[in-house]
Amino acid sequence: MRWIRRIVLFFVALVVVAVAALFLMPAEKIAGIAADRFEAATGREMVIAGDVSPSIWPNLGVTTGAVSIANADWSEEGPMLSAEGLSIGVDLMALIGGDIRIRWVEAISPAIILEKSADGKANWIFDASAEPAESEDPQGGATTRRFALDQAEISGGSLTYIDAETGTRQQISDLDADISLPDFAGKAELRAAANVNDSPVTIEASIDGPAKLLTGGVAAFLTESTVAVELDASAGGSEIAFDGTMRLVPLTVGGRLDAELDDLPAVFGAIGQTAPALPEGLGAKLIGAKGDLEFADNVVTLANARIRLDQNTLNGQASLDLTAKPRVTGEFAAGAVDLSALSEEAEGGPDGESQGESGWSTEPIDASGLQAIDAELGLTADSVDLGKSQLGLTRLFLRLQDGRLVTEIRELNAYDGTVTGEFVVNSRGGLSVRSKLSGSAIALRPLLQQLAGYERLLAMADMDMNVVGSGNSLDAIMKSLDGEGRIGMGKGEFQGFDLVGALKSMEAGQVGQGGRTVFDSINGSFVIRNGVLINEDLIMLAPLMEAGGKGRVGIGEQTLNYTITPKSLDGEDGAGIRIPVKISGTWANPKISLDLEALAGERLREETEAAKERARQAAEEKAIQELGVTTEEGQSSEDAIRQELERRATGGLKNLLGGGN
């Protein structure tokens, strides 16, 4: 017992001496030892300024003043880390047992700089050659002490991420974070809140497998290890959840994503971008995404995706390239798509206040959203609601490049017919549009009613057109239209006037409300110049009548100045009667009348031609009498007179020259 008592007293005395030595050692000496050990492990200089206060029981710990850690030697951004102070506490009994259990770590107002150089170097990759070698057990195996972290706190911190390869700079401020790793082989958990590029962001995350950090070293962990990750993040009112795996260098991610973004300015601000001005129905209020996510080389891919854009849902796959300007590619299918808000915006608002009884909207069109991203997207939809227009099965391919959107219409069922072609919206240096379309069996009444408020024409039509316009409002675009096209219609009718009745009665009253003109076909071509459609070759065939048409339709001004000249086919001589019908006024209030002035002019021309013919016939008869010409069978009077004159002229010439009798 005496020996045991002496041994115990010896160790107690040894601990007392060690503790006394620790507290008697100058603070500068303790700081110097810690800094030297850090530099030996990482190759980076550590500077500890101010007071250093050690503690022994119940936890071995130290509290420092200001601390800084040097950046990589190629960086010019200052220290990689600087803080007003650090505090750390280690479980002394666990340390004696061979494990490392950190009770707390606290960093006060740390400022961290993470940086990538133009040639791809990262300042958070420390000098691997400076890391101490692993110890080995007697059998030659590597040994690693068990590690646990009860709590690590950051308060009032900031983080700056600089990427010289892409020229981007991200800023995180007001950073408060709490990190814990209760079990060496378990999950590390993170809870953080900060302002990221002035957007509020919160994060809750867990990483399963940080033991690899100790078994492989810092560099190996960052560049070789793939760890399981769970993430719940919010930016403003938007939320993102992820469950998958991650590798830090280079950053690669794979797993299941569930996101609902209803605060786009906060989300795009957090990644250093400006939120695009998307129209309603295409993500103005909500963008949702579920699917299998992968991120590598600045490209985000979402497979087996379900995308929500406001009230619309799409299924398919897509990728987003963030290398420079965001670029989206993908292929999607949808059921019913609602884009009715697009027509409301074109009219100046939900009530269409800027468009009165007639005339196009003068409300400025904001096409700046087309400059935000580039895209190549395929879309198939069972139906599309465009507000004024209702489309059936639709297959489109959209290509957006530097603000120029080309919509290739591969199949579009609308107005009982089909349409193919392309539609271009170009916001480069102003707004312009181009429409190159071909339509087959299109029902004209609903088409004209929805586009122009005109509903008096009932027919099915085939048409081609190639039209371009420019301006910052719908009114300016319509008044600038230029192009050409053709139209062909089968059986149909015009409502509101009766051409056949007008021909029979010669009364303008027949061309009024309640009448109708039935036709078998209408064909013609047109050109458009400065918003005015010009047609010169319209041909209409109808029972008991045929008609030609020519004139102008003011698309920009919504005016009419067109004349249809029908000819009755039931005259006794089959020639019929030609009576021009003039259509004038506006689209909203057209005026239809018989053009009696043109009719009088036509009859005057006919009478003039008849008088000329009578005078010609009288002259021929007098010449025949004076010349004594006899007309042979099958010979016209004109030919007989010319033959006699030639004979007399030939005979006279021979006498003059002394020939003949």
How far is Cα 597 from Cα 28, in angstroms, rounded to an integer? 113
Closest CA to 315 of 294, 337, 300: 337
Residue 289 near residue 306 (C-beta atoms within 8 A): yes
How far is Cα 292 from Cα 314, in angstroms, rounded to an integer? 15
How far is Cα 101 from Cα 106, in angstroms, rounded to an integer? 15
How far is Cα 421 from Cα 618, in angstroms, rounded to an integer? 63
Cis, peptide link before residue 58, omega less than 30° from 0: yes
Concatenating the DSSP letter of every residue in 555-575 gives TTTTEEEEEEEEEES-STTS-
Condensed to tens digits (0 to 9), the pLDDT of residues 315-374 reads 999 999 988 888 999 999 999 988 888 766 555 444 444 444 568 889 998 888 888 889
Closest CA to 271 of 369, 373, 189, 179: 373
Residue 38: its H or E element: helix 27-42
Q: Give the lowest-confidence range in 86-90, 168-172, 331-335.
A: 86-90
How far is Cα 493 from Cα 498, in angstroms, rounded to an integer? 10
Per-residue pLDDT band at 488 (split at 50, 70, 90)? very high
Closest CA to 560 of 620, 616, 497, 504: 497
How far is Cα 420 from Cα 397, in angstroms, rounded to an integer? 12
Please state the rounded mean pLDDT for residues 610-631.
65
Residue ranges per structural domain of the chain: 25-129+144-150, 602-656
Condensed to tens digits (0 to 9), the pLDDT of residues 248-293 reads 777 888 999 999 988 888 787 777 677 777 778 888 888 898 999 9
pLDDT at 622 over 80: no
Q: Give the lowest-confidence range in 4-8, 341-345, 547-551.
A: 4-8
Residue 391 near residue 409 (C-beta atoms within 8 A): no
Q: Give the lowest-confidence range in 197-211, 239-253, 304-318.
A: 197-211
pLDDT of residue 356: 41
pLDDT of residue 352: 41
pLDDT of residue 3: 42
| DSSP, res 364 | P
Residue 394 near residue 338 (C-beta atoms within 8 A): no
Q: Which residues touch 598 (CB under 8 Å, ≥6 apart)? A: 563, 580, 582
pLDDT at 474 over 60: yes
Concatenating the DSSP letter of every residue in 106-136 gives EEES-EEEEEE-TTS-BTTS--GGGSPPPPB
pLDDT of residue 335: 92
Closest CA to 154 of 110, 205, 206: 110
pLDDT of residue 11: 39
Please state the rounded mean pLDDT for residues 454-479.
90
pLDDT of residue 141: 45
Give the residue, 222 or 547, on which the prediction is more confident: 547
How far is Cα 299 from Cα 291, in angstroms, rounded to an integer? 15
pLDDT of residue 169: 83
Residue 540 near residue 522 (C-beta atoms within 8 A): yes
pLDDT at 208 over 50: yes
Please state the rounded mean pLDDT for residues 400-410.
93
Residues forming beta bridges with residue 256, ordered by sequence position: 243, 292
Condensed to tens digits (0 to 9), the pLDDT of residues 92-111 reads 565 556 565 666 677 888 89
Please state the rounded mean pLDDT for residues 469-483.
94
| DSSP, res 429 | T
How far is Cα 526 from Cα 435, in angstroms, rounded to an integer? 15
